[in-house]
Structure 1
Amino acid sequence: MKLVTAIIKPFKLDDVRQAIAEAGIQGMTLSEVKGFGRQKGHTELYRGAEYKVDFLPKLKVEIAVADEDVDTAIEAIQEAAGTGKIGDGKIFVTALERVIRIRTGETNEAAL
């Protein structure tokens, strides 16, 4: 089992959600986050004053999947979230040692 974590642009959420559903993957967790990568923020103008925006708004999407579904999830996210421009985000894949469904006590793949 793996945890696929994607940092995406906020306006791409609906596209990513639809792509994940079409790929047959159920369930996702969403968090609003702020951060920056290589782009290191940008400057904006507000009431004639220029100021630097270091942390840009992003969304963190987390999806727990079985090992055989990892590549499917990654491809769906990449296609849906990509714009071809800087700041599209990143995808991280980490191993899940154990998963437990609280309500039923099911474990691992059965809990996904």
Structure 2
Amino acid sequence: MVKLEIITRSEKLVDVKKILAKHDYIGLTVTAVMGCGHQKGRIKEFEGLNLEINLLPKVQVMTVVLDEDVEEILTELHETISTGNVGDGKVFISDVRDVMRIRTGERGEKTL
């Protein structure tokens, strides 16, 4: 199992949800976050206004998927939500050793 932490533009949330649902992943956690990276918190429209904006609103989507689905999901995310501009976001990918459903105590992939 693999945890995907997808940080992207807020307006791309619907697309992210559609991609995950297409692969039968409906369980996810969405958090409104603020951040900066290579974009340095700057928006092109505001460059000439001398405004100091160092954090931009993003969404973070966290979900766990099966190993065999990771590459296809990553490809679809890139093809669908990339605008080609700085600030599109990142996907952090990490292994998940196990998972437990609190209600039943069930463990493993069947809990997804």
Q: TM-score range by the shorter chain?
A: 0.7 to 0.9
Amino acid of the residue matched to residue 59 of structure 1? V
Question: What does residue 51 of structure 2 align with?
Answer: 51
Structure 1 residues 56-75: aligned runs within 5 Å: 56-75=56-75
- List alignment gaps of at least 5 residues for structure 2: none
Structure 1 residues 1-112: aligned runs within 5 Å: 1-42=1-42, 44=46, 50-112=50-112
Scaled by the length of structure 2, the TM-score of the pair is: 0.87
Query: For the structure 1 residues 27 and 80, does the alpha-carbon distance in structure 2 shift closer, same or farther, using more than 3 Å as the test?
Result: farther
Scaled by the length of structure 1, the TM-score of the pair is: 0.87
Structure 1 distance, partners of 2:27, 2:89, is 20
Amino acid of the residue matched to residue 14 of structure 2? D
Moved over 6 A (4+): none
- List alignment gaps of at least 5 residues for structure 1: none
- Mean alpha-carbon deviation: is it higher for 24-33 or for 88-97? 24-33
Percent identity over the alignment? Answer: 38
Instruction: Confirm or deny: 8 A CA contact 1:4 1:93 kept in the other structure.
Output: yes
* Residue-by-residue CA offset, 1:3-26 (whole Å, 9 max, x unaligned): 011111001111111122123323
- Mean alpha-carbon deviation: is it higher for 73-82 or for 87-96? 73-82
* Residue-by-residue CA offset, 1:64-109 (whole Å, 9 max, x unaligned): 0111111122123222321111110001100112200111111110
Instruction: Confirm or deny: 8 A CA contact 1:8 1:88 kept in the other structure.
Output: yes
Structure 2 distance, partners of 1:72, 1:26, is 16
Number of aligned residue pairs: 109
The structure richer in helix per residue is: 2
The structure richer in strand per residue is: 1
